[in-house]
Chains A and B, each alone.
Chain A
Amino acid sequence: MSKVAAIIERCQALYEDLDFKAVQEWKNAAPKRKVVGYMPVYVPREIAHAAGILSVGILGGGDQLEVIQGDAYYQSYICRIPRSTIELGLTGKLDGFDGMLFPSICDVIRNLSGMWQILFKDKYVRYFDVPQNYEDNIGGTYYVHELEILRDDLAKLAGVEITNEKINRSIEVFNENRRVIRELYAYRAAKPWQAPTTEIYLLQRAGMVLPVEEHTQLLRDYLAATEAEPRQMRDNARVVINGTFCEQPPLNLIKSIEMAGCYVVDDDFMLVTRWLLDDVPSDGDALDNLSKAFLHHSASTSAKYETKREEKGQFLLQQVTERRAEGVVFACPSFCDPALLERPMLQDVLSAHGVPHTAFKYAENTGQMAPIREQAGTFADSIKLWSAA
């Protein structure tokens, strides 16, 4: 087996492991280890890391989990990720977790935080609110307090003190991870045939469960391995995927987009790993630095308010330009208000700038790929025709 194949096989096993065995193994490897889960879109994982806690991204149950109990908690017109997450909890798959963080992304995840408090009374549960005001002395002050609460709670959970110095060291570790991810994304944009998005996706998913240091190393190994194994270049259309920041598309959907003739050159999968766009300074007041990074140097997504009309869509446009994308594929979860309400605004901006786009909806358990493959194929063909003309 090639090196790349071995790395991807490992990631795939982690992706398919709905019992979080790797997490449990990490936990069992030393006494008193703690694990905290988090949902999309962003939590400051540095703080958990500084307490020696493993933070694990919970992204629903995918297309392999049979949701039975979870359906009894949600009406048919609510997206799927909360029900499969509840299913994971009720079937004991998250028993090894000591807590869960629910970031402020939408009303569904917000309300899920309260459901978790009721259903899993012995666990630490926190709704993690982030500011929608980006002034340091207003939103920043508020956010630093929120970070302090999180720091103190996690310190209590882990039974350790979380010093400023410890957080700074963790910031360095995560800076390193973010740097390699930036490299990985730049590499894919430069040579998409060498780094197919099904692989990038699995590598990023591995980052949801592995300790960050291990994940950084895994990405380095992948970059070296794939560069050493030349693959065939195709005349595909270069696209950015948008809308997938919470409920995840099935892996087959990503495969279908690629097989239909698209190179995905940027995306919004697992934004937590790329939320902070630059290195965070690691030599001052750590919480203040995390706050400033959030306020002034973070990604844009629907869950974040944009203060001015002119800002709307600029982040996406920049992705398109910098990655030399030829179009945007909006893939949004059904019933996802944030993604679906944002989409028309982004489409407007793209149209105004002559960027072609197409859109469809999915659920994490969508099985029928033929229509999506067809739509993505037609889109890729039209881009190619248009660029040839």
Chain B
Amino acid sequence: MTTPATAAMPASSKKPQVQKEDAMWLQKELINRNYQELATAHERGKKISATFVPGNLNELLMCFDFARSLPETNQLQNGMRKKSGKFIMDAERDGQSEDVCTYVKSDLGMMLNGQVGPTGDPLPRPDLLLLSYTGCFTFMKWFELIRQKFGGETVMLHVPYQGDGKINPNMRDYVVKQLKETVIPALEKVSGVKFDIDRLRQYMRESAKAEEDLVAVLQSAKNRPSPIDGYFGGVYYIGPIFTAFRGTPDASKFYGMLRSEIEQRVRDGKGPITPDGEMTSERYRLVVEGPPNWTSFRDFWKMFYEDGAVVVTSTYAKVGGLYDFGFRHDPDRPLESLAEYCMGCYTNLNLPQRIDMICKYIEEYQADGLLINSIKSCNSFSAGQLLILREVEKRTGKPAAFIETDLVDPRYFSAANVKNRLESYFQMIEQKRAAQH
């Protein structure tokens, strides 16, 4: 599955310098620091874990002093830095099919090219592959492939899917039992650190604080104009909390700072900040379903803000947790809460739940419609999106549109096609508005 997201705000090629909120600088510093920590982990006697973003157990991993790597994040960084195309081709030459997920191939390609991460810092091989099997079948194959090719140990955390649209006690007990009897012992063994549940509670307390602030930031888009972009900008807002920082004081500081900045923007009646500066006119308010394209991220975003389109909220910003629907890490029931967190991530929801969520967003954020960015790589998101489109149109009466791109394979981003589609979509919204007046 396609997951985020520690994307630094892309710099504009235009001079003068791109405008950034203060929190953005802090975020960039956090990302770079994590790569340095990974680069020097072994020298410092630390072990490295790799785990996926949805259902990631960051608080738990921190209890064992792991340096934490997130493979999807590494690959989206490679995508933004235009390195993924070569990696993908190298993986295909090494026997991977052209049909399969490009995150996987980019990761394998990166490893085939030596142990260097997206920032150019060394990225040593993980000591433990924590297979948080949430919302994406491909995760399982991904880590099996890495294990097959480069060695290392895997530990599975099987997270049952919400096929019935709910979490039953049996599902929760199953995840908790795995945590207690499989995952924690494996983490203890590899790290040599004994598990301390109070340490976990402390991290979770910190997580809940940051989650509260994140929700305030994301929901600020209900204002008109929206002070944020909940997709392109959203990627950078969710970065720290969906990855190696949830549960750290740094994350709390970042979200506190971000929230005050955004609240100030609301008071000032300002629109979102884009790589080309502040967006001054808000013409279209959209909900977006599906992950972004990373190889042309900035051009893609530009196609929106140039035309005054702001994404008020997106499902992608929920792959690492549905905080805006009330979930908070709960230090009083740490393992149960981690289990519920894993099962509650967006791609672990069934299709009717996803449709309900999007319809609710359209209403609550007063959106003009739904745009689906369908990603070739990602069946977890993409299979069923055409039905989502129909159902949402039917239920909300708002126009919906469909574009197709990929995550990190530059061969699947056709700027002209995407632009055409978007322009016709914006016209469609205009026509709908005209018809209503």
Residues of A participating in the B interface, judged by any CB pair closer than 8 Å: 72-75, 77-78, 82, 102, 104-108, 110-115, 117-119, 126-129, 131-133, 135, 137-139, 141-142, 145-146, 302-303, 305-307, 309, 312, 332, 334-338, 340-345, 347-348, 361
Residues A334 and B99 in contact in the complex (CB < 8 Å), given A73-B387, A118-B387, A344-B145: yes
Residue among A129, A302, A347 with most chain B CB within 10 A: A129
Contacting residues, chain A, for B181 (C-beta < 8 A): 135, 137-138
Does the CB pair B148–A139 fall under 8 Å?
no
State the Cβ distance, B322 to closest chain A Cβ, in Å: 17
Question: 1/0 per position for B99-118, CB-CB distance to A under 8 A?
Answer: 11100100000000000000
Residues from 112 to 141 in B contacting A, C-beta threshold 8 Å: 131, 133, 136-138, 140-141
Residues A112 and B383 in contact in the complex (CB < 8 Å), given A132-B133, A345-B148: yes
Which one of B65-73, B156-164, B253-261 is at the interface?
Answer: B156-164
Contacting residues, chain A, for B158 (C-beta < 8 A): 131-133, 139, 305
Contacting residues, chain B, for A145 (C-beta < 8 A): 170
Contacting residues, chain B, for A127 (C-beta < 8 A): 161, 163-164, 350
Contacting residues, chain A, for B370 (C-beta < 8 A): none
Q: Please measure, in the bound complex, the distance between the C-alpha atom of A148 and the C-alpha atom of B189, giving whole angstroms.
A: 35
Q: Please measure, in the bound complex, the distance between the C-alpha atom of A110 and the C-alpha atom of B353, giving whole angstroms.
A: 13
Beta-carbon nearest neighbor of B104 in chain A: A341
Contacting residues, chain A, for B391 (C-beta < 8 A): 118
Contacting residues, chain A, for B174 (C-beta < 8 A): 131, 133, 138-139, 141-142
Does the CB pair A114–B144 fall under 8 Å?
no
Q: Please measure, in the bound complex, the distance between the C-alpha atom of A349 and the C-alpha atom of B417, giving whole angstroms.
A: 42
Contacting residues, chain B, for A303 (C-beta < 8 A): 137
Does the CB pair B351–A111 fall under 8 Å?
yes
Residues A78 and B379 in contact in the complex (CB < 8 Å), given A117-B351, A145-B170, A341-B145: yes
State the Cβ distance, B359 to closest chain A Cβ, in Å: 13
Does the CB pair A129–B141 fall under 8 Å?
no
Residue among B151, B376, B379 with most chain A CB within 10 A: B379
**Cβ of B386 under 8 Å from chain A:** yes
Does the CB pair A132–B140 fall under 8 Å?
yes
State the Cβ distance, A118 to closest chain B Cβ, in Å: 6
Given contacts A341-B138, A347-B95, 4 further A-B contacts (CB under 8 A): A106-B379, A114-B353, A133-B182, A341-B97
A-B pairs with beta carbons under 8 Å apart, 21 shown? A73-B386, A74-B386, A75-B376, A77-B99, A106-B137, A107-B380, A111-B379, A113-B163, A114-B163, A114-B353, A127-B163, A129-B160, A129-B163, A142-B160, A142-B174, A145-B170, A303-B137, A305-B133, A335-B99, A337-B137, A343-B97
Q: Please measure, in the bound complex, the distance between the C-alpha atom of A72 and the C-alpha atom of B163, giving whole angstroms.
A: 23
Does the CB pair B99–A117 fall under 8 Å?
no
Q: Please measure, in the bound complex, the distance between the C-alpha atom of A127 and the C-alpha atom of B8, giving whole angstroms.
A: 38
Does the CB pair A337–B100 fall under 8 Å?
yes
State the Cβ distance, A362 to closest chain B Cβ, in Å: 12
Does the CB pair A78–B170 fall under 8 Å?
no
**Cβ of B355 under 8 Å from chain A:** yes
State the Cβ distance, B77 to closest chain A Cβ, in Å: 23
**Cβ of B396 under 8 Å from chain A:** no
Q: Please measure, in the bound complex, the distance between the C-alpha atom of A72 and the C-alpha atom of B158, giving whole angstroms.
A: 33
Does the CB pair A312–B374 fall under 8 Å?
no
Does the CB pair B182–A135 fall under 8 Å?
yes
**Cβ of B147 under 8 Å from chain A:** yes
Q: Please measure, in the bound complex, the distance between the C-alpha atom of A343 and the C-alpha atom of B145, giving whole angstroms.
A: 10
Contacting residues, chain B, for A343 (C-beta < 8 A): 95, 97
Does the CB pair B137–A107 fall under 8 Å?
yes
Q: Please measure, in the bound complex, the distance between the C-alpha atom of A55 and the C-alpha atom of B379, giving whole angstroms.
A: 27
Q: Please measure, in the bound complex, the distance between the C-alpha atom of A137 and the C-alpha atom of B147, giving whole angstroms.
A: 27
Question: 1/0 per position for B316-358, CB-CB distance to A under 8 A?
Answer: 0000000000000000000000000000000000111111000
Does the CB pair A138–B379 fall under 8 Å?
no
Contacting residues, chain A, for B178 (C-beta < 8 A): 133, 138
Beta-carbon nearest neighbor of B380 in chain A: A107
Contacting residues, chain A, for B95 (C-beta < 8 A): 343-344, 347
State the Cβ distance, A179 to closest chain B Cβ, in Å: 31
**Cβ of B16 under 8 Å from chain A:** no
Beta-carbon nearest neighbor of B404 in chain A: A75
